[in-house]
Amino acid sequence: MKLYPLKFEPKYSYRIWGGEKLKTVLNKNYALDSIGESWEISDVEDNETLVCEGALEGKTLKNLIHEFKEEFLGKSVYQNFGDSFPLLIKFIDAKNPLSIQVHPSNELAKERHNSFGKNEMWYVMQAEEDAQLIVGFNQNVDRESYQLHLNDGTLLDILNIEKVDQGDTFYIPTGRVHAIGAGVLLAEIQQTSNITYRIYDYDRVDKKTGEKRELHTEMALDAIDFKHYPNYRSTYSIKEANVSNKLVHSPYFKTNIMHVTEEIIKDYSQIDSFIIYMCVEGALIVESENEAYPVNTGETLLIPACVEQIKVSGKSAKILEIYL
Q: What phi, psi does 258 have (nearest 5°)?
A: -135, 125
Strands 132-137 and 211-212, sheet pairing:
unpaired
Whole-number Å distance between alpha carbons of 115 and 318: 32
* 223 has a pLDDT exceeding 90: yes
* 239 has a pLDDT exceeding 90: no
The b/e string for 68-106 (b: 16+ C-beta within 10 A; e otherwise) is beebbbbeebbeebeeebbbbbbbbbbbbbbbbbbbbbb
The 10s digit of each residue's pLDDT in 279-293 is 999 999 999 999 999
- The Cβ of residue 240 has, within 10 Å, a number of other Cβ atoms equal to 10
State how far the alpha carbon of 57 is from the alpha carbons of 51, 60, 75, 206, in Å.
5, 9, 24, 36
Q: What is the pLDDT at residue 286?
A: 98
Q: What is the pLDDT at residue 194?
A: 87
Whole-number Å distance between alpha carbons of 324 and 321: 11
Whole-number Å distance between alpha carbons of 214 and 113: 17
Beta bridge partners of 172: 120
**Sign (positive or negative) of CA dihedral 283, 301, 115, 79:** negative
The 10s digit of each residue's pLDDT in 189-219 is 999 998 999 999 998 988 888 888 888 989 9
Q: Say how far residue 309 (Cα) sits from the centre of its chain.
A: 25
Whole-number Å distance between alpha carbons of 304 and 324: 12
Q: What is the pLDDT at residue 1?
A: 85
* 7 has a pLDDT exceeding 90: yes
- The Cβ of residue 165 has, within 10 Å, a number of other Cβ atoms equal to 10
Amino acid identity, residue 47? N
Q: What is the pLDDT at residue 75?
A: 97
**C-alpha triplet 156, 162, 167: angle, nearest 5°:** 150
More confident residue, 211 or 297: 297
Q: Domains of the chain by range and CATH? A: 8-221 (2.60.120.10), 245-323 (2.60.120.10)
